[in-house]
Structure 1
């Protein structure tokens, strides 16, 4: 099979006749937009070492991947000094404990994909959303300290979005349903305290203040019976937005 960095078999091409644990070690582009499967049946994975979302590929030409995008690798690089200096450490998947890799982090570069970083192991504590870009002094930009202890990949989502908010714990009390962004929860629903929620579709960010400001929390599909389960200090929520490929 042959993979290409652009649609319609354009750009850099790389040919495979056997398994490959890490495409990006040999392929300069982090994204694959088209491919030609000439012989055999293959499975493509979004992450190295055969992990993440999978795509079954039978013989044929794939001029543009039908999910509206491409196969994306997620890559974030942590630097011990500001302005991308000092030792650096790369991550391309979820990591629940980064302490064994480095002690301090003062700048970050997100080369592709979206991530949440946390100041405690196990995806706990203060968290911050990071999209593709350079953060030369991320402590000054985010207000976080230099302790990055875990990070989580935010997968690309192309489907619908739906979440339900509840005023009481364990999905009790008044319920409000969201399918799009909400810059001011109180103005829209006359509700500023959320004690539990059910994320049914898509990935979201909840902010403590209106207009997507202040401390925020990554919400992936699942039930959250109390604000403690999304690492909230309290139940106050001011705005909510869908996490799309921004």
Structure 2
């Protein structure tokens, strides 16, 4: 199994009941695979995944790592809507991210190699991040609120010159953590 593959199973009912959809690679539309866009439980057998509440890999993102999610609240969802997913691109275990105050990599910056539950507690004065560079092998999750809460956005190796580049609704980012691929 390559580092970009994995296996995730979506269930229509809570606690892994009802119809199920098994996915081993990008699925841009659950409905095109004959599955409703309502998901109430999920099992991640391998890999790390980013799921979207709309088809075509759009909408609110949910990052799911190895484990069981018996109801939609357990993956920080605001409802049972889910329409597409893809594996998170992981290359290894060397994590490094640089956050920028200004868009296009301007202004003050901060570099991290470990999770940070509160950027302001580490000296980041603003409640927002306007650009990101992801170096190394790993992927990261940006959260709108401290303590890994609120909307989340996955960023993988590369450059993101503004919040729209990571499909953000705004530049609010107050905590950051590494995606762990089991």
CA separation of 1:146 and 1:226: change in aligned 2, threshold 3 A: same
Distance 2:124 2:74 in 1: 34
Query: What's the CA shift for 1:156?
Result: 4.4
- TM-score scaled to structure 1, two decimals? 0.65
**Would you tell me which structure has more strand in proportion to its own residues?**
1
* Residue from 190, 195, 203 that aligns with 2:130: 195
Q: In the alignment, does 2:155 pair up with 1:219?
A: yes
Please give the alpha-carbon distance, in whole angstroms, between the structure 2 residues aligned to 1:170 and 1:122.
27
Gapped runs of 5+ residues in structure 2?
none
Please report how far the alpha carbon of residue 227 of structure 1 lies from its aligned counterpart in structure 2 after TM superposition: 0.7
In the superposition, relative to structure 1, how do residues 172 and 186 fare at CA in structure 2: closer, same or farther (>3 Å)? same
Aligned CA-pair RMSD: 2.1
Match of residue 169, structure 1, among 93, 103, 108? 103
**In 1, are the aligned partners of 2:47 and 2:66 still within 8 Å (CA)?**
yes
Match of 1:115 among 11, 28, 49: 49
In the other structure, the counterpart of 2:58 is 124
**Larger Rg computed on CA atoms:** 1
Structure 1 position 81 matched with structure 2 position 31: no
* Greater RCO (CA < 8 Å, at least 6 residues apart): 2
Question: Mapping of 1:93-108 within 5 angstroms?
Answer: 93-101=25-33, 102-103=35-36, 104-108=38-42
Q: 1:40-71 CA deviation, whole Å, 9 max, x = no partner?
A: xxxxx52xxxxx66xxxxxxxxxxxxxxxxxx
SS at match of 1:206: strand
Pairwise CA distance, 1:97? 2.2
* CA contact 1:176–1:189 (8 Å) conserved in 2: no
Task: Assess if the C-alpha contact under 8 Å between 2:48 and 2:180 holds in 1.
Answer: no
Count, aligned residues:
178
Checking the alignment, whether the CA contact within 8 Å between 2:62 and 2:75 is kept in structure 1 is no
**What is the match of residue 232 of structure 1?**
168
Structure 1 CA distance for aligned equivalents of residues 47 and 74 of structure 2: 22
Give the alignment's TM-score, normalised by structure 2.
0.86
